Structure formats: C-alpha cells, structure tokens
Structure 1
Amino acid sequence: MKNILIPTDFSENAHNAIRYALDYFAEIPVNFYILHSSSKGKLQVDPEFEGFFDSEIQTVQNTTSLLKAEITTCRISTKNSEHNFFALEEDSNLVEAIRKQVSEKEIDYILMGTKGASKNNSSDMGSNTVEVITKVKCPIMIIPGDARFVGVKNIAFVTDYNCVYRNKVISTLSETLSLHNAPLRVLHVKSNNSDLSVTQTDNKGFLHYFFREKKHSFHFVENKELETGIENFVETWEISLVSIVAKNLNFIQRLLLRPAVKFVSYHTHVPFLVIHE
C-alpha cells in the first residue's frame, strides 16, 4: 500500500494533480492524503509560496467543505476499490505541513500541481517548489497544469554521472519503471567537448549493471543547450516522465524554474520526478 500526499489550494492546477495521481497509480492500492495548509485559520497567500496559492481566500468552514467535496469527487472518480482518501488540514505553512505529514503518514510520494509554461508566461513554479524539494526528503512528482495521463511510454533520468546512485535513488527509479513497465532513457548532461572521467564512467556502468534486466539506453545533451536539448529529447523519445536527483539543484532550477526565453513545450505536459538520496 502506497501513501501519497497531494497539497491542494483548490485551484484547477491542484485538481489536475489529483486527477493525474488517480490515473498514474490506478493499478495499485494507495492511501491518498489531500492536504490543505493555511495560517491563522484562513486560506491566506503566504508570500513565500505565492506561485502556488492563487485561489480565493476562504473561511475555515469553507475549507472543510471544499476538502470534503474533493474527497467525494476522488471516491467517485477512482476505478480502484483499493484507493482510500483522507482529508488533512494544517494551520501552518506549506513546508512545515508537508514535512509533518510525510513523517506521520510515512508518505512515499508527494504530488504537487503547478502552473505550466505558456508562450506569454515562462514556467515559474514559485519558491515553494524549491522549498519543498530542498527541505522535505521525499520523492516529489511535479505535475504541470496541462499534464494529462495517457500512459507511460518512456522514463528519462537526467544526470551528469557525478553522483553515486544510492539505494533510495535506484529503488525509486526501479519502482517507477516497474509500475508502468516502461523503458529507462538515461540522459547525460555533458560539458562542451568533455569526455567522461573515471568516476563518471564507473557511475554510468553501475546504472547499466543495475538496470541490466530492464530495457534502457544511454544518451547525452550538451550542457549549454540543456533546455532545448531536453525538449528535443522528450519529443523524440516520447518521454512521459523526467526524473532527476534532488541534489542536482542547478539542473532542477534550469529545467523547472528558469527555462530558456524561447518557448519550451515540454514544461506544459511532462511531469518531473525529483528523487532524494
């Protein structure tokens, strides 16, 4: 039984994240915890998380009603009788609330709905995403507002091969591949005209050995063209999920928080899985 935590501000982005979660985990038993956090008894917008809380301010009574309605909708929408839903309310900021529930409920994954990119507004998921990634040690799936679950064809793992892949990273990746019987496409972000060092070669070899019984392949993109290279890779290889290790914060910021000035289309529909060691 998996335990999944989904923060909500009752916006369309949050609703979409819940819908995506129901489809993504459709085949396995799951306890879904739908969390709303607020301070001083109201749905107030904390400036620290301004990119996330963009719905109208509601009273505590309305919050409770909205959560109940959300749970009812989930129970109607799910096709799996082993999906259970629980409403959570916290009078604290988002990171504190998530950290508490991750510990108490033994959460396996956090799913966060976000605004996708548009041609007139580059993707910026707000400081809340970085806060949760850096301060909560739990795998986080980031679901763009335009993401729709249509199955998982290929899963990308973006890496520079500079870190040792510890058990948590490998087990989360392996579990993700097995859940949808999907191939792994390892994408190396390389410096210009640079060859792999001995350490990088060893780390790449470890990935090849560990996933030897699963379909996988290795690819690379030049660092200076990271956003464009990954966009092309996502489209060419029909990538349904992009995964990355949380310690590679520079990559995460480039891919998720500061995309190229030009329109990067994968931000609008491809979820990201950020894995902690």
Structure 2
Amino acid sequence: MKKIIVPIDFSDCSRNALKNAIMVAERMNMELILLHSFMLPVATTDGTPLIVGSMIDDLQKASESSMTDFIKKTPELDRVKYSTEITAGLLLSALTDVLEKHDVAYVIMGTHGASGLKKVFMGSNAYTVIKNVECPVIALPEDADITKMKKIAMSGDYKHSPAAHSIEPVIALTKAFFAHLSVIHIDQDKDLEHDEIEIAKSLEKYLKKVNHSFHFKRDYDVEDGLLAFSKEENIDLLVMISRHHSFIDRIARGSETKRLVMDIPMPLMIMPE
C-alpha cells in the first residue's frame, strides 16, 4: 500500500494538514505516516559540540507522549491506516530516511502562518522540502481545505513533452476526487507555435480518463498570469512541476508591488520532473 507522509509538529497547522491528508488517504486507499522530528540539544565544552544522551532520551519520550495526545485529539484517524515515526534531527533528513524505506506517493504538510504563496516560501520547512525531495509535495497554507476539491489547475509547459510518470500523481488525485483538471499555459506570445501545439496534444493522451480542459493565457509575467487564472477560476489546488523552481524562488523574493497577487490562499502541489 502506498504511503502519505505528514510532518507533524503538534500545532493546529499540522493538525489541519493531517485532516486533509486523511481525506486523501481515504479516497486513494493509502496509509499515513505521521512524522515528527525534534532538534538535538547541543552544549559546547572548549568549542567541542556535546550531545547529552539523557537529554535525547527525554526528548524522545516527550515527543512520543505528545504524539499520543495529538492522535487522541484527531479521531478522524480511525478512518485510515497509519503509523508514526519519531526521530531526532532536521525534518529534511528525517523525510529522506522515511522516503528510502517506504513507497511514498505524497508528502502533505502545513505551512505556519502562511495565508498566501509568498509567505509559504519565505524560509519555511515547506520550501526546503519542496526544493530537495523527489516526491510530490502538497503544501497547505494555514486553514486550507482540499477535502472537497473540485478544481485543480496544472501549469502546462508546452516546451517540454512530459513523461507519463511525472504527471501520474496529479491524474490520480484528480480521479480520486472526481475533480476537473485545467492545464493552463501562460506565455508572452499571442499564439502557440507548432511544436507547442504538438506537446499539448501529447498531454491529451495522458488525460483521457479525467475531466480536463486546456487553457492559454497571454501575460508578460508568467507567475502573475498563473495566479490570476487560479483566482479567477476558484482553483482549489495549483500544481507545478519541479523545473518551475525559479517561479517559487521569485515568489519567495517577491516585491511589494506583487503582494496582493501573492497573498491569495493557495494550496500548492509540486511534482518532481
């Protein structure tokens, strides 16, 4: 059975991510892994790092106790199979270890205090995870809800022909929620070139079993056009592939003039290429 990893820090934000993940697991017949990582206490003696073993044991026990309480307060977990992983160290390292041991379909995680895309990527764990793991990551701004999603938008790059495996995660998600998938291409040019039309046709063969449509929007700023489309169409989940990291980087550095656009509450899914 495929797994979904949900990073847990015992906050309301991670509880919301977990509730969304429960619905995804239920719809897709997957098992959840609740992952918590804690930082190691480090003291210095003559400049030499020293980790106190008893402190690690105490933190491990405290984390296990917090996880037990967290689970008790999330009765929705009774609807799915789940397991827990608690480990010392950085979240990225913990995620990498779990990914190596399990067949993971998605990572679903919350983003603290994030009401829009720009805030999601400003020094957050989500940004670090998205940039470094070879697994689809769904990043959910605080209070986001994809449990009833009906509209998914995928950024269509008509300059590269996609491999079937690279878009399978979004196709599976679209089917599971009986949603509509909008493939949106933003370009400065007025019309698509012949090669771009052919690549769009190659996408069509992968999408025959899902309700979908293709959209072309002219905009001199790709990210502005993509986010504007998502807002106009009331998109529940925006999907991008990893080659668009430059888009994410620009959001993280975004200027004041783009604040209104960047602050739309938008769940985001990044898929590895």
TM-score scaled to structure 1, two decimals? Answer: 0.81
Bigger helix fraction: 2
Q: Which residue does 1:68 correspond to in 2?
A: 68
Q: Which residue does 2:17 correspond to in 1?
A: 17
Q: Which residue does 1:184 correspond to in 2?
A: 181
Mapped contact 2:2–2:103 kept (Cα < 8 A): no
Residue 67 of structure 2 aligns to a residue whose secondary structure is helix
Counterparts in 2 of 1:16-165, with a 5 A limit? Answer: 16-40=16-40, 59-74=59-74, 76-78=75-77, 80=79, 83-115=80-112, 117-118=114-115, 123-125=119-121, 126-165=123-162
Q: Which residue does 1:6 correspond to in 2?
A: 6
Q: Which residue does 2:217 correspond to in 1?
A: 221
Residue 263 of structure 1 aligns to a residue whose secondary structure is helix
Residue 203 (structure 2) pairs with residue 207 (structure 1): yes
Q: 2: distance between equivalents of 1:257 and 1:15?
A: 28
Q: 2: distance between equivalents of 1:116 and 1:109?
A: 22
Mapped contact 1:154–1:185 kept (Cα < 8 A): yes
Using the aligned pairs only, state the percent identity: 25
Mapped contact 1:13–1:115 kept (Cα < 8 A): yes
Q: Which residue does 2:49 correspond to in 1?
A: none
Q: 1: distance between equivalents of 2:202 and 2:263?
A: 29
Residue 20 of structure 2 aligns to a residue whose secondary structure is helix
Residue 104 of structure 2 aligns to a residue whose secondary structure is coil
Q: 1: distance between equivalents of 2:162 and 2:168?
A: 10
How far has the Cα of 1:78 moved from its partner?
A: 3.7
Deviations 1:116-142 (A, max 9, x none): 5459x9514325333322321111111
Q: Which residue does 1:244 correspond to in 2?
A: 240
Q: Which residue does 1:45 correspond to in 2?
A: none
Q: Which residue does 1:54 correspond to in 2?
A: none
Q: 1: distance between equivalents of 2:173 and 2:113?
A: 23
Q: Which residue does 1:193 correspond to in 2?
A: 189
Q: Which residue does 1:275 correspond to in 2?
A: 271
Structure 1: 5+ residue stretches without partners: 43-57
Q: Which residue does 2:52 correspond to in 1?
A: none
How far has the Cα of 1:35 moved from its partner?
A: 0.8
Mapped contact 1:2–1:30 kept (Cα < 8 A): yes
Instruction: Report the residue type matching 2:162 in the other structure.
Output: Y
Change in 2 beyond 3 A, CA 1:210/1:77: closer
Instruction: Report the residue type matching 1:136 in the other structure.
Output: V
After superposition, the CA RMSD in angstroms is 2.7
How far has the Cα of 1:208 moved from its partner?
A: 1.9
TM-score scaled to structure 2, two decimals? Answer: 0.82
- Aligned pairs, how many? 256
Instruction: Report the residue type matching 2:11 in the other structure.
Output: S
Residue 9 of structure 1 aligns to a residue whose secondary structure is coil
Q: Which residue does 1:49 correspond to in 2?
A: none
Deviations 1:7-39 (A, max 9, x none): 122222111111111233333433211111123
How far has the Cα of 1:183 moved from its partner?
A: 1.5
Mapped contact 1:122–1:263 kept (Cα < 8 A): no
Q: 1: distance between equivalents of 2:263 and 2:174?
A: 20
Mapped contact 1:41–1:91 kept (Cα < 8 A): no
Q: 1: distance between equivalents of 2:82 and 2:73?
A: 10
Deviations 1:146-174 (A, max 9, x none): 20235121110013322221122232122
